[in-house]
Amino acid sequence: MDLRIVNPTNGTTLKELPCDDRAAIAAKVATAHAAQRAWAATSLAGRSNVVRRFRELLVERTETLALVLTDEVGKPIRQSKNELAGTLPRIDFFLEHAPGVVADEVVFSDRAAGLTERIELEPLGVVANISAWNYPWFVGLNVIVPALLTGNAVVYKPSEYATLTGLALADLLDAAGAPRGVFEVVVGAGEAGAALLAEPLDGVFFTGSLSTGRRVAEAAARQFAKLQLELGGKDPAYVCDDVEVDAAAAAVADGAFYNTGQSCCSVERVYVHAAIYDRFVQAFTSVVKGFVVGDPRDEATYIGPLTRRELALDVLAAQVSDATARGAKILAGGHRVERPGWYFEPTVLVDVDHSMRVMRDESFGPIIGIQPVADDAEAIEKMNDTEYGLTAGVYTADAARAERVLTKLAVGSAYVNCCDRVSPRLPWSGRRHSGLGCTLSTHGIAAFLNTKAWHVKA
């Protein structure tokens, strides 16, 4: 069966590629197992050289890679370039910190008793990376680079919507000198991911939706593969009454609509202190009405098409009609854009409450609900009223107030006067239904290692 890669800007076919069947996937996993042993035996310096060369090639080919990404997922070209540039500090972080993380540690030594205790860290083995399309370079490399540096082989199943980027990434690793089999790409849709999980694996690193994450967790559990999940979110921002309103409105609007709202850590709900609610809503709506919707190849475009057709056609429209049926008011957008492709207008809803899907379900598009709150206590209660727990942000002139609010929230990332932000130095993780485990930071390198305990008697 062939996979048809479609340009979401106009619905035309970019490419048709043969999908890997069950036998081809099994062969790729077997090749990875065979290659992993030699790769683990290669020195860290040798593995780092491949990653360094990969980084150089990424820089050299950025313009072309950005176009591939923009055509395939509809990401505005400036944001595609930002994503590619943003991978570099992450790669640098991994290169700098891998030696410290993988080093053996002597934790006890008693000469008189002739006893030494040492912790050794070993690669997991062969890990599957099943990934999302919204930031394929970011979320792909967050797994692939530390996995390879620590001596694992990776079998990568990019989203079918980011297949060309996945194949470009494989070409780069190949050109950088990664030995055959150390990095394998599986081409196909969800069935290919499911088939991959039926093969013998030592780790499963998944980025995607909660519903697929559940299926992936069940499959990984059957073979006790180490499991990591980066799932969805319904991330809130709370704007206190002591902020500079225009600046806060512009920052939160960017956090909600960047990448056409298709970020796991997009702001998806906004709570505003009643004292500044009207002013904030006005400023926010005027920022959103100024967003340039257009061709993602155009440098001026801020909002492109949605990557997945059903999101534009069904999910967002259904959230808007559910909200308006329950009393919400549309201040901007609310409809599909009348042009070819999967476009949805940047949409602002007010008079919303938590009975509405737009305030409960992940939207993953250019749509936001804004709700007033009486005080910090109500903001905390509303922000915690979700099954997810990826990030939360508080905008205030009083950092201690922000900390008081954020410590009461079950989230993996706490933002003070910022949002929609990821740092290579900090762990990226979700609480509750937003995930298990973490990527990035030194913890996100250690995630690819098993501990071996050495008890050595003289």
- Residues within the interface to ligand NDP (CB under 6 A): 130-135, 139, 157, 159-161, 189-190, 193-194, 197, 207-209, 212, 215-216, 230-233, 264, 362, 364, 390, 428, 430, 435
Q: How far is the CB of 317 from ligand NDP (least distance, A)?
A: 18
H/E segment holding residue 377: helix 376-384
Would you tell me how many other CB atoms lie within 10 Å of the CB of residue 124?
22
DSSP letters, 40-69, are HHS-HHHHHHHHHHHHHHHHHTHHHHHHHH
Q: How far is the CB of 216 from ligand NDP (least distance, A)?
A: 5
Q: How far is the CB of 231 from ligand NDP (least distance, A)?
A: 5
**Under 8 Å between Cβ of 115 and 143:** no
Nearer to ligand NDP, 142 or 396 (CB): 142
Residue nearest ligand NDP, Cβ-based = 193
H/E segment holding residue 167: helix 163-175
Q: How far is the CB of 412 from ligand NDP (least distance, A)?
A: 8
Instruction: In whole angstroms, give the CA distance from residue 40 to residue 18.
Output: 31
How many angstroms separate the Cα of 253 from the Cα of each of 268, 276, 306, 351?
A: 10, 16, 18, 18
Instruction: In whole angstroms, give the CA distance from residue 227 to residue 420.
Output: 25
DSSP letters, 299-312, are TT-SB---SSHHII
**Under 8 Å between Cβ of 172 and 68:** no
> What is the SS3 assignment for 240?
coil
Would you tell me how many other CB atoms lie within 10 Å of the CB of residue 220?
21
Q: How far is the CB of 431 from ligand NDP (least distance, A)?
A: 11
Nearer to ligand NDP, 76 or 389 (CB): 389
Give strand pairing partners of 415.
393
Nearer to ligand NDP, 212 or 396 (CB): 212
CA angle 367, 373, 379 (to 5 degrees): 85
H/E segment holding residue 38: helix 22-41
Q: How far is the CB of 209 from ligand NDP (least distance, A)?
A: 3
Q: How far is the CB of 41 from ligand NDP (least distance, A)?
A: 31
Nearer to ligand NDP, 36 or 212 (CB): 212
The CA-to-CA distance between both ends of the chain, in Å, stands at 61
Nearer to ligand NDP, 47 or 90 (CB): 90
327 closest CA partner among 282, 298, 285, 358: 358
Nearer to ligand NDP, 345 or 361 (CB): 361
φ, ψ (nearest 5 deg) of residue 277: -55, -50
Nearer to ligand NDP, 48 or 266 (CB): 266
Give strand pairing partners of 176.
none
Q: How far is the CB of 93 from ligand NDP (least distance, A)?
A: 17
> What is the SS3 assignment for 188?
coil
- Token digits of residue 241: 């009454």
352 closest CA partner among 333, 325, 314: 325
Q: How far is the CB of 3 from ligand NDP (least distance, A)?
A: 8
Q: How far is the CB of 204 from ligand NDP (least distance, A)?
A: 9
Nearer to ligand NDP, 215 or 297 (CB): 215
Q: How far is the CB of 8 from ligand NDP (least distance, A)?
A: 13
Nearer to ligand NDP, 341 or 365 (CB): 365
| Number of residues that this document lists for the chain | 458
Nearer to ligand NDP, 231 or 350 (CB): 231
